[in-house]
């Protein structure tokens, strides 16, 4: 009779060591690397910058030309009111940037001067959208570097390298060509657009001069915080005097079109978003990247506006705009190399 030992009775599997506890996935696989996070963040900022800038431009055109809301001064005032409120919330409550206080009465007067020039540039741009296609408006607006260089020289008598000035020739030539080939050319709209472009350039030069000392420098978001309420105080009486029936038409359109007030609210919010995203993109990218993105943004706005509004374009107009953008790129490169 065979003797069966306890070892032979035991289950062989019970002799195997227990499996090691399951290890959690490594942190590197679960989380996104800091470099990817930074890339995603910057990409999101650029998308916000493009969508808000192009969105407010197209919505301005729609409201002023296609919707019957022909009040560019009042529209600009709505933008400034939104910028004033949202700037205060962003800086004081959300701490997007540190609050910079105004330290003297002369500094306040300088900011008020900038605000008036800023109002002129925005109002002029909005008036031009009543009469000009967005595509041509963007072509004229691309000449900002020309006016900036002109005003900088007149204000400081500081000369740039000759190559820098030579790069501005195609900028101006391109707009002249585009003007000749624009089917929707309107002289008054063109004058307003040129005036707005010049005022925008003058404001940037004036800002660099007036707020040049270390004690008076303000970042763009704090400057917007202080300029916006002043702009509202300037634009409100201007709208009531120059656009006397604006409130009546505004209320009437609001009753006839239930989305009118919502569109105006979105439009005004996008105006602030454009300023905020521009500040953040400037902060998180290089000057060269910003220049390239800015030029591309204008081209994207032109393409989208043509698709939406179906305004006719000619080969001559496209060639002129292309020449202007090429000149702007060459000007930026010349300034970078010969500074």
Which tens digit of pLDDT belongs to each residue from 213-261?
Answer: 777 888 989 999 999 999 999 999 999 999 999 989 888 888 888 888 9
pLDDT, position 32: 77
Q: Which two tokens stand for residue 311?
A: 């305004």
Q: What is the mean pLDDT of the segment spanning 158-164?
A: 86
pLDDT, position 119: 95
Residue 315 burial (10 A CB sphere; 0-12, 13-18, 19+): exposed
Q: Which two tokens stand for residue 233?
A: 């105080």
Q: By C-alpha distance, which of 148, 197, 69 is closest to 331?
A: 148
pLDDT, position 52: 96
Q: Which two tokens stand for residue 136?
A: 């041509």
Q: What percent of the chain has pLDDT over 70?
A: 90
Which tens digit of pLDDT belongs to each residue from 197-216?
Answer: 999 999 999 988 888 777 78
Which tens digit of pLDDT belongs to each residue from 112-150?
Answer: 999 999 999 999 999 999 999 999 999 999 999 999 999
Q: Taking a C-beta distance cutoff of 8 angstroms, is the pair 321, 295 a contact?
A: no
Judged against a pLDDT cut of 90, whether residue 291 lies above it is answered with no
Judged against a pLDDT cut of 50, whether residue 195 lies above it is answered with yes
pLDDT band per the 50, 70, 90 thresholds, residue 22: low
pLDDT averaged over the chain?
A: 87
CB proximity list for 242: less than 8 A, separation 6 or greater:
73
Domain residue limits, the chain: 61-337
pLDDT, position 2: 43
Instruction: Classify the C-alpha dihedral 198-200-203-208 as positive or negative.
Output: negative
Q: What is the mean pLDDT of the segment spanning 268-295?
A: 86
Judged against a pLDDT cut of 60, whether residue 12 lies above it is answered with no
Q: By C-alpha distance, which of 330, 153, 212, 290 is closest to 338?
A: 330
Q: Mutual orientation of helices 105-131 and 187-210 as an angle, nearest 10°?
A: 160
Tell me the DSSP string of 251-299: HHHHHH-TTHHHHHHHHHHHHHHHHHHHHHHHHHS-HHHHHHHHHHHHH
Question: Residue 74 CA to chain centroid, in angstroms?
Answer: 20
Judged against a pLDDT cut of 90, whether residue 82 lies above it is answered with yes
Distance CA 279, CA 97 (A): 10
pLDDT, position 3: 43
Q: By C-alpha distance, which of 140, 55, 168, 147 is closest to 321?
A: 140
Q: Taking a C-beta distance cutoff of 8 angstroms, is the pair 168, 146 a contact?
A: yes
Q: Which residue has the higher pLDDT, 27 or 178?
A: 178
Q: Which residue has the higher pLDDT, 308 or 66?
A: 308
Which tens digit of pLDDT belongs to each residue from 87-107?
Answer: 999 999 999 999 999 989 999
Distance CA 60, CA 50 (A): 15
pLDDT band per the 50, 70, 90 thresholds, residue 17: low
Judged against a pLDDT cut of 60, whether residue 9 lies above it is answered with no
Judged against a pLDDT cut of 60, whether residue 57 lies above it is answered with yes
Q: Which helix (H) or strand (E) holds 202?
A: helix 187-210
pLDDT, position 199: 96
Judged against a pLDDT cut of 80, whether residue 26 lies above it is answered with no
Q: Taking a C-beta distance cutoff of 8 angstroms, is the pair 144, 297 a contact?
A: no
Q: Taking a C-beta distance cutoff of 8 angstroms, is the pair 79, 224 a contact?
A: no
Torsion of CA 228, 229, 234, 236, to 10 degrees: 110
Q: Taking a C-beta distance cutoff of 8 angstroms, is the pair 228, 81 a contact?
A: yes
Distance CA 283, CA 38 (A): 13
Which of 4-8, 29-33, 315-319: highest mean pLDDT?
Answer: 315-319
pLDDT, position 1: 40
Question: Residue 187 CA to chain centroid, in angstroms?
Answer: 26
């Amino acid at each position: 009779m065979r003797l069966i030992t306890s070892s032979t009775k035991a289950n062989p599997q019970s002799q195997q060591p227990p499996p090691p506890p399951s290890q959690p996935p490594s942190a590197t696989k679960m989380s996104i690397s800091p470099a990817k996070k930074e890339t995603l963040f910057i990409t999101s900022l650029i998308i916000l910058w493009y969508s808000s800038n192009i969105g407010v431009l197209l919505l301005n055109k729609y409201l002023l030309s296609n919707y019957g809301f022909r009040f560019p001064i009042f529209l600009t005032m709505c933008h400034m009111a939104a910028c004033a409120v949202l700037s205060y919330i962003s800086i004081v409550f959300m701490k997007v940037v540190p609050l910079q206080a105004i330290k003297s009465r002369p500094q306040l007067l300088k900011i008020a001067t900038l605000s008036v020039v800023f109002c002129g540039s925005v109002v002029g741009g909005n008036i031009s959208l009543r009469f000009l296609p967005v595509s041509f408006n963007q072509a004229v607006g691309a000449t900002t570097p020309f006016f900036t260089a002109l005003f900088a020289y007149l204000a400081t008598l500081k000369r740039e390298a000759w190559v820098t000035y030579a790069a501005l020739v195609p900028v101006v030539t391109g707009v002249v060509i585009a003007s000749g080939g624009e089917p929707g050319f309107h002289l008054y709209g063109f004058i307003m657009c040129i005036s707005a472009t010049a005022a925008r350039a003058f404001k940037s030069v004036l800002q660099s001069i007036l707020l040049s000392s270390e004690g008076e420098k303000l970042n763009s978001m704090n400057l917007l915080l202080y300029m916006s309420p002043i702009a509202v105080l300037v634009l409100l009486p201007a709208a009531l005097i120059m656009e006397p029936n604006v409130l009546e038409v505004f209320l009437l359109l609001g009753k006839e079109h239930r989305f009118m007030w919502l569109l105006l609210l979105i439009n005004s919010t996008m105006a602030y978003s454009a300023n905020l995203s521009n500040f953040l993109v400037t902060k998180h990218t290089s000057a060269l990247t910003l220049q390239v993105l800015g030029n591309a943004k204008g081209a994207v706005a032109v393409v989208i506006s043509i698709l939406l509004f179906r305004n006719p374009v000619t080969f001559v107009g496209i060639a002129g705009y292309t020449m202007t953008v090429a000149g702007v790129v060459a000007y930026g490169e010349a300034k970078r190399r010969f500074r």
